[in-house]
Amino acid sequence: MREYQQYIGGQWTRASADRMFDDLDPYRGTVMARVPAGTRADAARAVDAAAAAFPAWAAMPPAQRQALFLRAADIVERRAGEITALLAQETGCAGGFAGFQILTATRLLRQAANWGYLPAGEVIRSDVPDTFALALRRPIGVVAGISPWNGAHVLAWRTVVNPLAFGNTMVLKPSEEAPVTAGLLVAEIMAEAGFPAGVLNVVTHAPGDAVPIADEFFERPEVRCINFTGSSATGRILAERAGRALKRCVLELGGYNPLIVLADADLDYAVEAAAFAAFFHSGQICMNARKVLVEQPVYDTFIERLTARASALPAGDPAAEGTVIGPLITPAALDRVSREVDEAVAAGAKVLAGGSADGPCYRPTILADVPAGARIHSEETFGPVLVAQPVANAEEAVAVANATRYGLSAGLITSDSQRGFALARRIEAGVVHVNDQTIADEPQLPLGGIKDSGWGRSGPHSMADFTELQWITTRDAAGSFPI
C-alpha cells in the first residue's frame, strides 16, 4: 500500500498538519492508499505557488507548451495499465470505462497541445479616426479546479487541461473519494512530462474537509475562476459563493438524461444503446441515461429485450476481465440507491430487472410505472437504475424529456435521421445524439449542460471561460476632445 504526498510548487510534500487518511477500495473495503489530509494552509501554499508560476506560464511560447502536453499524453498511454488498475482499486471502475477515460484523456491532451495556436483575438474597426482596435484574449490567472470521483481520471484531466492550455495556472482539489486517480496521478504525469513547478498544484483532503480548502479559493484574489465538475447541489453552493466573491465559475453538473426510442427504431440497436447508456460504469456517469421513453407500439418488445440484456450484465470485481457492473463508490452511495429504489417501489413502481444489492454492487435495475412523487422519477440516482416509460408519440417524448430541471445530454433513436434532427433541436439539453445514446465525450466538441446541469463548455470552446477579452486601442495621431 502506497503513501502519497501532495504536489505543491513542484515539490512532493506532506500535509501541513502532517495527517493522513485512508483511501478505500470500494469493492474490497480495504485501504488502497494513504493520502495527505490537507488543510487550508496547504491550499494557501498551493495558491501562492500557482500565482508565482502564472507570469512565466502565460508568457511561454505555444510550441513549448505544446511539447509538454504531447509528452503528458504519451505518458498517460505508457502508464495505461497502471492507471486502469488504480481506477479499479480506487473507484471500482471496470476495464471498459477505464479504457474510455484513458483514450479521452490522451485525445484531450493532444488536441489541447494546439490550443496555444488558436486565434488569440480579433481586429475590430474603430470609428475613431487613426485608431487601431483589438479584442485580445489573455489568460485570467489562477484557476481552482474541484473534481469528482466518478470519471475520476478523465474529469481531472478535463478540469486542468482546459484552463492550462489557455495560459492559466491551476490548483486542483480532487474528490476525497479519488485523491489519487483524480489528482495526484495527474500531478505525477505532469511532473514527469516536465511542466514547470507551480503550473499544476494538487491539494488533497480527508472526507468532509472540502470546505476550508474551498474557503481559501474563494477568499484569495489571485484565484479568478472555479472550474467544478460534480453534483448540482454542490454546484449551486459554489455558484452562490462565486457570486459573492465575484469570481467566475464553470460548472459541469448532474443530469436526468432521457433516451428516446421511436417506433421506427432498429430495436436490437436501441436495446444495446439503452443498456450501455443506463449501466456503463454502474450508472455513475453524469451522462448516463436515467429514463428511457419508448413509443407505445414497440414498448413491450423493447422492454422485454432490455430486461434480459440488463439481467445478464456481469457484476463483481471491477479488475476482473469482462466485468460491467462494479461496486458503487461507497456503502453510503449503495444505501442511497437502495433507499430510492425501495421508496419508488413502495409508491407503486414495478421492478422489471434488478432492484437489489449484490454485495457492494447494485444489480442493473429497470423500473416501470414510477409515480411522479418518487425521487427517481425526476432526479438522478447515480446508480444502475433506469426508469422506463411508454409515450404515445414523438411529441410526448419531447415534452417528457424536457420536463426536468436538468439539461445535460439526450439520445434519440429513429431510422429517420432527418426527423431525428428536427426533434433534437427541440430538446432542452446541452448535448443531443440522434441515433445514438447519451454518453460521449470528444475533446474538440462542446460538452456541457443547460438549466441545472451547469454553465460553460469544455474543449476549445472553453476559451471563452478561461480567458479575459481585453480591448486595446492604439492611436496614430492626436485627436480632439469635446471639453
Choosing from 176, 177, 252, 295, which is the catalytic residue?
252
- Rounded to a whole number of angstroms, the minimum distance from the CB of residue 235 to ligand ADP is 7
Residue 148 is a binding residue for ligand ADP (CB under 6 A):
yes
Residue 381 is a binding residue for ligand ADP (CB under 6 A):
no
Nearest residue (CB) to ligand ADP, 251 versus 315:
251
Cross-strand pairs, 454: 252
- Rounded to a whole number of angstroms, the minimum distance from the CB of residue 348 to ligand ADP is 28
Three-state SS at 301: helix
Residue 211 is a binding residue for ligand ADP (CB under 6 A):
yes
Using CA atoms, how far apart are residues 81 and 376, in angstroms rounded to an integer? 36
Output the nine-digit C-alpha cell for 368.
416501470
The DSSP result for 189-223, as a single string, is HHHHHTPPTTSEEE----TT-HHHHHHHHHH-TTE
Count of residues near ligand ADP by CB under 6 A: 13
In order of 85, 95, 96, 181, 478, the CA distances from 321 in angstroms are 12, 7, 10, 20, 74
Instruction: Please confirm, yes or no, whether 252 is among the known catalytic residues.
Output: yes
Burial bucket for residue 361 (CB in 10 Å: 0-12, 13-18, 19+): buried
In order of 142, 171, 183, 274, the CA distances from 9 in angstroms are 13, 10, 15, 45
- Rounded to a whole number of angstroms, the minimum distance from the CB of residue 21 to ligand ADP is 13
Beta-sheet strands, E only, within 409-465: 409-413, 431-434, 454-455
Nearest residue (CB) to ligand ADP, 159 versus 462:
159
Nearest residue (CB) to ligand ADP, 175 versus 307:
175
Nearest residue (CB) to ligand ADP, 182 versus 357:
182
Residue 234 is a binding residue for ligand ADP (CB under 6 A):
yes
> Per-residue x/- mask for ligand ADP, residues 108 to 147, rule CB under 6 A?
--------------------------------------xx
Instruction: Please confirm, yes or no, whether 304 is among the known catalytic residues.
Output: no
Choosing from 286, 295, 340, 361, which is the catalytic residue?
286
Q: Which residue, among 436, 392, 441, has the nearest Cα to 417 in the 3D structure?
A: 436
Nearest residue (CB) to ligand ADP, 203 versus 315:
203
Point out which span in 101-109, 171-179, 192-200, 460-468 binds ligand ADP (CB under 6 A): 171-179
Residue 237 is a binding residue for ligand ADP (CB under 6 A):
yes
Residue 175 is a binding residue for ligand ADP (CB under 6 A):
yes
Residue 148 neighbours by CB under 8 Å, 6+ apart: 155, 175, 178, 182, 229, 230, 231
Using CA atoms, how far apart are residues 421 and 441, in angstroms rounded to an integer? 19
Residue 176 is a binding residue for ligand ADP (CB under 6 A):
yes
Residue 115 neighbours by CB under 8 Å, 6+ apart: 165, 166, 460, 463
Q: Which residue, among 261, 299, 265, has the nearest Cα to 390 in the 3D structure?
A: 299
Residue 56 is a binding residue for ligand ADP (CB under 6 A):
no
Point out which span in 66-74, 229-237, 298-306, 409-417 binds ligand ADP (CB under 6 A): 229-237
Nearest residue (CB) to ligand ADP, 163 versus 390:
163
Say if residues 437 and 274 touch (Cβ distance below 8 Å). yes
Which residues make up the interface to ligand ADP (CB under 6 A)? Answer: 146-148, 173, 175-176, 210-211, 214, 230-231, 234, 237
Query: Which residue numbers are catalytic?
Result: 252, 286
